[in-house]
């Protein structure tokens, strides 16, 4: 960017609400713009840059849809769902992962107690993991600790 154009763009950007510091460099022909994204968003900053700098021929992606990224964990959930269906199919619907995982952890814990294996994890770790996994995979419709209004039951 030419130094006089960069200065003009920097001056215009400083007038915009939400823009903090703006520095232009004649040596590199660049601008550094610090802005508050809650006040002014990036598309507006880029649009001002293009219009004020006379950068005709450049188009800001107005109205273009951004590619939707898959939510984190969706792939893992799909794999676990397929595994859950497989376990249910093999067991004729008697077992699924919501009961199979905690039951397996409980069995490992019982095995440690019965056979005396004394390596980490200890038997109570398996029992604890079994309980926590079961509770997390099988949430109750109503909580036994909290009433309908968020108050402790009986309080």
Q: Could you tell me the residue range of the domain that residue 124 belongs to?
A: 75-137
Q: At what angle do helices 42-52 and 3-15 cross, to 10 degrees?
A: 140
Q: Do 81 and 113 have their domain in common?
A: yes
Query: For the chain, how many structural domains are there in total?
Result: 2
Whether 148 shows a pLDDT value over 70: the answer reads no
Q: How many CB atoms lie within 10 A of CB 90?
A: 10
- Structure confidence by residue, pLDDT tens digits, 76-135: 778 888 888 998 899 998 888 888 888 888 887 788 778 876 666 777 888 888 888 877
Q: Is residue 153 part of a domain?
A: no
Task: Report pLDDT for 89.
Answer: 92
In a domain, residue 99? The reply is: yes
Asked whether residue 34 is assigned to any structural domain, the reply reads yes
Sequence-separated (6 or more) residues with CB below 8 Å from residue 47? 60
pLDDT tens digit sequence for 128-138: 888 888 777 76
Can you give the pLDDT at residue 86?
Answer: 92
- pLDDT tens per residue, range 22-50: 888 777 777 888 888 888 888 888 888 88
Q: Are residues 79 and 130 in the same domain?
A: yes
C-alpha separations of 123 from 97, 98, 104, 108, 127 in Å: 21, 21, 12, 7, 6
């Amino acid at each position: 960017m030419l130094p006089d154009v960069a200065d003009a763009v920097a001056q215009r950007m400083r007038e915009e609400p939400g823009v903090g510091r703006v520095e232009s460099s004649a040596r590199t022909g660049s601008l550094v713009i610090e802005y508050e994204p809650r006040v002014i968003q990036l598309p507006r900053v880029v649009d001002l840059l293009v219009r004020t700098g006379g950068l005709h021929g450049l188009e800001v992606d107005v109205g273009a849809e951004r590619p939707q990224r898959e939510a984190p964990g969706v792939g893992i959930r799909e794999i676990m769902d397929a595994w859950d269906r497989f376990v249910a199919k093999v067991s004729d619907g008697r077992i699924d992962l919501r009961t199979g995982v905690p039951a397996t952890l409980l069995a490992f814990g019982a095995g440690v107690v019965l056979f005396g294996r004394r390596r980490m994890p200890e038997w109570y770790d398996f029992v604890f993991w079994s309980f926590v996994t079961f509770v997390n995979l099988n949430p109750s419709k109503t909580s036994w600790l909290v009433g309908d209004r968020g108050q402790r039951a009986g309080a």
